[in-house]
Amino acid sequence: EDQVTQSPEALRLQEGESSSLNCSYTVSGLRGLFWYRQDPGKGPEFLFTLYSAGEEKEKERLKATLTKKESFLHITAPKPEDSATYLCAVQALRDQGGKLIFGQGTELSVKP
Amino acid sequence: DVKVTQSSRYLVKRTGEKVFLECVQDMDHENMFWYRQDPGLGLRLIYFSYDVKMKEKGDIPEGYSVSREKKERFSLILESASTNQTSMYLCASSILAGGRKETQYFGPGTRLLVL
């Protein structure tokens, strides 16, 4: 069964304290892995898509990496405005309809 | 920029009412999706559509139906609302596959309370 597990469930950081969020997945053929940011009461906002192991993408203080079993979202010198829930999702090769399988998310809190 | 809009941000309905949630996207995307999001359960797919008048059941379709009469519009219908359908409802759209890697873009969500 295809599955996505994110850890930790919640993470509290001080401003400037770098860390990483983990997304472990099992899927029968990966079509793509997606990272989203979600602020309270709002819809998820797209951050990155990763397609193959070894791929990396960066946006401001965020960097996403991908291996054959997991993805990491590295946050360098975070600021309070980075506080949000970060969602990971995978899409299987066999799924032509674009269906995503989501993890539970990691709730990040950055204190000044 | 991709824009996905949902007809209401907040809705309060009574048990047994028929509820319509509307979603519109402006990027000519073929695929459209309806999710619900609940604490501890994450995002769960209700229905999706890959073309006009086409629909596919997701993981939790019971108690819901959908309509896609135009490419840009995808409606979720709660035939007879129940309290266990109180949730955040999220609509998303993406471009068709065929060798291209789709990204789903989400709307702002509708928070539905069923009393």
Put simply, the answer to whether A41 touches B56 (Cβ < 8 Å) is no
3-state secondary structure chain A: CCEEEEECCEEEEECCCCEEEEEEEECCCEEEEEEEEECCCCCCEEEEEECCCCCEEEECCEEEEECCCEEEEEECCCCHHHCEEEEEEEEECCCCCCCCEECCCEEEEEEC
Per-residue pLDDT for B1 more than 80? no
- Contact of B107 with chain A, judged by CB distance below 8 Å, is answered with yes
Whether B106 sits inside 8 A of A31 (CB atoms) is no
Q: Do A105 and B94 touch (CB under 8 A)?
A: no
Q: Pick from A25, A99, A101, A106 the residue to mutate for testing the B interface (most B CBs within 10 Å).
A: A99
Say whether A97 and B107 touch across the interface (CB within 8 A).
Answer: no
Give the rounded percent of residues in chain B with a pLDDT score beyond 70.
Answer: 93
How do residues B77-106 score in pLDDT, each as one tens digit?
A: 999 999 999 999 999 998 765 555 578 999
pLDDT, mean of residues A5-23: 97
